[in-house]
Structure 1
C-alpha cells in the first residue's frame, strides 16, 4: 500500500446519507452505461471487472480508508481517462467540415446518452457535448463513494457493487431496499463491478438536469485550463441529497479531512491535458496499481486481495 496515500489519511466518521439525483440513472444493464464503440478506446483491462474487496476485515479505520482509496482511485482514473479519449475524438469531429456515417452515428449516440437534444452535428450539439463529456475530480468520487457506501461495507456495496446507491426501476434489476415504502417499485441497482458503478455515477453527473450547476463549475475551470476540484464541484450537488447544503458541506468536509485533493493533484499531473496516445497507454494498464499515485513505489506491491 502506498506510503503517500497512507500519509494523507485522517479519521472520519463512517456515515451514509440518502441519494436524490441518482433516482434517474439508467438501469445497470442499459447500453448507455457502456462506452460507445470507438477505435481509439482500448479494451477494458481485466482488473476493471474485479468485485469489491471485503473492507470490513480492516479493523483499523485508517487502514480501511487507505485500502478503500487504493482500490477505487485506479478505477476512477480509468473511467476518466476513457472519457478524455472520447473527448479528444469529439473535438476532432467538431473541426471536420463533413462527418462520415459512423462518425455521425457515434455523435448521435453520445448525445442520447448525455441527454443532449440538439440538431445532429450542429454547433449547439457540439457545445453541449463539450460541456457534458468531461471528467469528475477523483476527490469528489472518492468522498461520495465513501459516504454512500459506508466505506465499501454497506449491503448494496457488498451485494451489488453499488457504491453510490443508484436506483433502477425494472423488476429484478437490483436489490430491494429493506425500508422501501409500500407501493414503491424501485430497487438499488446491482452492478457487475465497482467500475461499472463508477461509470454510471459519472454519467449521471454528466447528464442529469439536477447537476447543471456542477457542469457549469467544471466548464468555467476548463475554460481557464484548470481541473475543477472536488470541493468546487460539490457546490453542484444540492439536489443529490434531501439534506441539500448540509450534504454539500459533509462531502467537502470528507474531502478536506481525508486530504483527497491529493488525488486531484495526481490526476491533474498525469491525465489532464495528456495526449491521446498517453491516455490510451494509461487506460490499457495491465495492473491497476500502475494508475496509483507514486506508482513506482515498491509499497504498491501490497495488493488488496
Structure 2
C-alpha cells in the first residue's frame, strides 16, 4: 500500500518538464573484498587512514585474548562502517544537489525524481528534509560500541554464521536468515543473514533510520555528532532501556572508541564520476 502511495506522489512530481541538464559528481569507494579464515586474515589498521576491506566471511573471535579480540574486532568492522557512512553521505549530497536545482528550476528531472521516490519508500517518509534527517550517519564510536555489545566483541554465532553483527531479527521467511537456539514464549526467533559485514552495517543504519522508536535519536543526530549526547537516546534499542545505554557509554569510554570517529577511507580508493541527469517525463 505504501508503495502505491509513493507512486502517486512521484507521479505528481513528473508532470512538468524542462530541457536543462543537471550534472552531479558522484564519489564512490572501490572496496577490497576479502575472506577471514584465521585472525591473521584481518588486515591491520596502523593509522587513521583505512583501506576499505569488506569481509564476506568471518570467524568467531571468542578464543582470542581480550585485548587482541577487541583490536581484531575493530579492524574487521571499521572499514565497513566507513564505507556505509560514505554511501549515506553521498545520498545526502545528491539530495542537496536536487534542492539547489529546484531553487532555480520549476521541475525535477526524471532521474532525480526516481532517486528521491525510491528513498522515500525505503526510509518510510514523504518530505526531503525528513529524508536528510533519516540518512545522516552517526559517529563510528556508537556503531562500534553497539556492535561490541550485540556480538560480544565478535564472539556471537550470528556473526560467524551470517555476518550479523547487531543481532537484527528477521520477520520475513523469504529472507536469508538463521534460527536462534532459544525462542521466546514458544515462538521461534530468527535473525538476518548477510552476504558481508558491509551489508549488516547498512541494514543497521537503515533500521535506525526507519523505526519510529529512534525518532528523537535521529533528530538530535542531525544537530550533534557528540556520541555522549546521542547514546542516551538509544534506550529503546534494547529491552534493557537505560541499563543498555549505560553499558554502551561505558564501552565507548573505556575502550576509547571515539578516536575512530576521525578515521577515514584512503583517498586512493575513491572513484569520482560525473553524472549528467537529463532524462525527464514529458507533460502530455
Shorter-chain TM-score range = 0.7 to 0.9
Query: Is residue 141–residue 227 contact of structure 2 (8 Å, CA) maintained in 1?
Result: yes
- State the Cα RMSD in Å: 2.3
Q: How does 1:82-161 map to 2 (within 5 A)?
A: 82-97=87-102, 98-116=107-125, 118=126, 125-161=127-163
What do the CA deviations read for 1:224-262 (whole angstroms, capped 9, x no partner)? xxxx13332212211111111111111000000000111
What do the CA deviations read for 1:174-200 (whole angstroms, capped 9, x no partner)? 111111135535411111111111110
- In the alignment, what sits opposite 2:20? none
Shift of 1:39: 7.9
Structure that is richer in strand per residue:
2
What secondary structure, in the 3-state scheme, does the structure 2 residue paired with 1:167 have? Answer: coil
C-alpha distance in structure 2 between counterparts of 1:173 and 1:164, whole Å: 16
1:179 to 175, 178, 182: 182
Q: Which moved more, 1:47-56 or 1:236-245?
A: 47-56
C-alpha distance in structure 2 between counterparts of 1:141 and 1:95, whole Å: 32
Larger radius of gyration: 2
- In the alignment, what sits opposite 1:208? 211
What do the CA deviations read for 1:105-158 (whole angstroms, capped 9, x no partner)? 110111111110x2xxxxxx1111121111121001101111101111111111
Pair 1:71-2:76 in alignment: yes
- In the alignment, what sits opposite 1:9? none
C-alpha distance in structure 2 between counterparts of 1:133 and 1:174, whole Å: 26
What do the CA deviations read for 1:82-119 (whole angstroms, capped 9, x no partner)? 11111111100011122111110110111111110x2x
Pair 1:188-2:206 in alignment: no
Q: How does 1:244-283 map to 2 (within 5 A)?
A: 244-264=241-261, 266-267=262-263, 270=264, 282-283=269-270
Q: Which runs of 5+ in 1 are unaligned?
A: 1-37, 119-124, 222-227, 272-277, 285-305
C-alpha distance in structure 1 between counterparts of 2:89 and 2:196, whole Å: 21
Query: Is residue 29–residue 269 contact of structure 2 (8 Å, CA) maintained in 1?
Result: no
Superposition TM-score, scaled by structure 1 size: 0.68
What secondary structure, in the 3-state scheme, does the structure 1 residue paired with 2:101 have? Answer: coil
Query: Is residue 56–residue 163 contact of structure 2 (8 Å, CA) maintained in 1?
Result: no
Superposition TM-score, scaled by structure 2 size: 0.73
C-alpha distance in structure 1 between counterparts of 2:216 and 2:58, whole Å: 31
C-alpha distance in structure 1 between counterparts of 2:188 and 2:99, whole Å: 42
Aligned residues: 224
What secondary structure, in the 3-state scheme, does the structure 2 residue paired with 1:168 have? Answer: coil
In structure 2, relative to structure 1, the CA distance for the partners of 1:185 and 1:109 (3 Å cut) is farther
Pair 1:51-2:57 in alignment: yes
Q: Which runs of 5+ in 2 are unaligned?
A: 1-23, 34-53, 272-284
Pair 1:232-2:229 in alignment: yes
